Structure 1
Amino acid sequence: MTAALPRIWPSPDNKPLPPTGTAEAFRAFARDLAAGRRSWDAETARFIAAQFDQLAAEWDTTRATGRDDPLRDALERGGPFPDGPCLELGSGTGLFTPLLRRVFPRVISVDLSEQMLHQAAGRSPLRVRADACSLPLADAQVAAVAAVDMLLFPTETARVLAPHGVVLWINQLGEDGPLYLPAAEVAAALPGDWLAVEADAGWGSWAVLRPGH
């Protein structure tokens, strides 16, 4: 079940739209991966890591949207949030880590790209290079999993989340983003029953999902 909140952060002009064909292809991949119709393997992980390694040095100036409205809105209106560590998946150069650190006592930043994590040194004190499909954490270890423009690995996400933990699902460009998944599809992909609240904010959208027990 999902509930939509009204928009309070307006959408600015000049939204940076990705190339249509490329974005559609990535969205199809993201949907199929989340739904289990497509597998993730070591070769794909190596390819993605290499691509982001090459982009890392210029990411903040040429690739980042520069807008954190969806995450800010999620942290302001999506709570209350459980106390405990937050696992930030696909953390990149750490642009969003400081916002998460204001809410959670500890943020573990995880990314496939070693160079992205190197760029995040001044923002993310705790950085781990790992594949989100096989996280180096024990079961039920984190209070929140935060994913900003990230592929969804539902089984692994649910495994590391504490029983009353939350998933923060952020799409910086909303439906136009290359990895966009609506809250209903995220909830359907995660094992078990989930309740979600979502909203549009700025150029993007967000959802906070909680187990429905």
Structure 2
Amino acid sequence: MPVSLPRIWPSADGKPLPPAGTADVFRTFARDLVAGHRSWDGETARFIAAQFDQLAAEWDAHATGRDEPLHDALDRGGPFPHGACLELGSGTGLFTQLLLSVFPRVISVDLSEQMLHEAVGRSPARVRADATALPLADAQVSAVAAIDMLLFPAETVRVLAPDGVLLWINQLGEDGPLHLPAADVAAALPGNWQAVEADAGWGSWAVLRRTR
């Protein structure tokens, strides 16, 4: 079971809730994908990339999340191994600089070329790639940061160093369209994992580590 820390970042008023029907569809997709009940293929990847390409130019203006969950994770979820951090689903780079305050190098990966274009000036190292087939060697990074991201367990674990950590961030917590509880994330990852988690602001976070 995850170790839950007390909340120290209050939840502000005005939390922007996504449409219930849409959020439910995406949460079901995210859970079915992890459970192996849905597949991820080239057609799905192209569809998702096209959707985010269209949203990229206006993404920052309509971004609903806040950075309290990531701040809290970086403050209380450590210590973190020294090394590169892989930022999956990095989007327009809204959180890259915060990750760079802890990790010496951040590699920002997104499926959308236009999202990465909007991240110029924020994300120094940008790579367009599918998170199911990352262009990295085994055990290459010290951390994987997944902020409102689908979970691809096998590939995530493949690129993590033995002492590496997964930062699992949900900006809107249980209301987020891609929310997965920390216990479900830990159960889906190959091997044995322990999570530390907390609520922060509108969202929640978990930092997961392998257990010996």
TM-score (norm 1): 0.99
Deviations 1:170-189 (A, max 9, x none): 00000000000010000000
Moved over 4 A (4+): none
The 2-side partners of 1:66 and 1:133 are apart by 25
Q: Taking structure 1 as reference, are residues 66 and 191 closer, same or farther at Cα in structure 2, changes over 3 Å only?
A: closer
Report the alpha carbon displacement of residue 125 of structure 1 after superposing the two structures with TM.
Answer: 0.4
2:16 is paired with a residue whose SS is coil
* Pair 1:80-2:79 in alignment: yes
Give the letter aligned to residue 134 of structure 1.
A
Structure 2 contact 52–115 (Cα < 8 Å) conserved = yes
2:101 is paired with a residue whose SS is helix
1:79 is paired with a residue whose SS is coil
The 2-side partners of 1:165 and 1:128 are apart by 21
> What does residue 67 of structure 1 align with?
66
Report the alpha carbon displacement of residue 65 of structure 1 after superposing the two structures with TM.
Answer: 1.7
1:11 is paired with a residue whose SS is coil
1:196 is paired with a residue whose SS is strand
1:139 is paired with a residue whose SS is coil
1:118 is paired with a residue whose SS is helix
Q: Percent identity?
A: 81
> What does residue 109 of structure 1 align with?
108
Give the letter aligned to residue 28 of structure 1.
T
The 2-side partners of 1:42 and 1:145 are apart by 23
2:145 is paired with a residue whose SS is strand
Report the alpha carbon displacement of residue 38 of structure 1 after superposing the two structures with TM.
Answer: 1.3
Structure 2 contact 65–171 (Cα < 8 Å) conserved = no
The 1-side partners of 2:111 and 2:155 are apart by 15
Q: Taking structure 1 as reference, are residues 18 and 124 closer, same or farther at Cα in structure 2, changes over 3 Å only?
A: same
The 2-side partners of 1:34 and 1:151 are apart by 8
1:12 is paired with a residue whose SS is coil
> What does residue 179 of structure 1 align with?
178
- What value does the CA root-mean-square deviation take over the aligned residues? 0.6
The 1-side partners of 2:191 and 2:131 are apart by 20
Give the letter aligned to residue 125 of structure 1.
P
The 2-side partners of 1:32 and 1:145 are apart by 22
Aligned pairs for 1:141-156 within 5 A: 141-156=140-155
> What does residue 6 of structure 2 align with?
6
Unaligned runs of 5+ in 1: none
Q: Taking structure 1 as reference, are residues 66 and 193 closer, same or farther at Cα in structure 2, changes over 3 Å only?
A: closer
Give the letter aligned to residue 52 of structure 1.
F
How many residues align structurally?
212
Report the alpha carbon displacement of residue 202 of structure 1 after superposing the two structures with TM.
Answer: 0.2
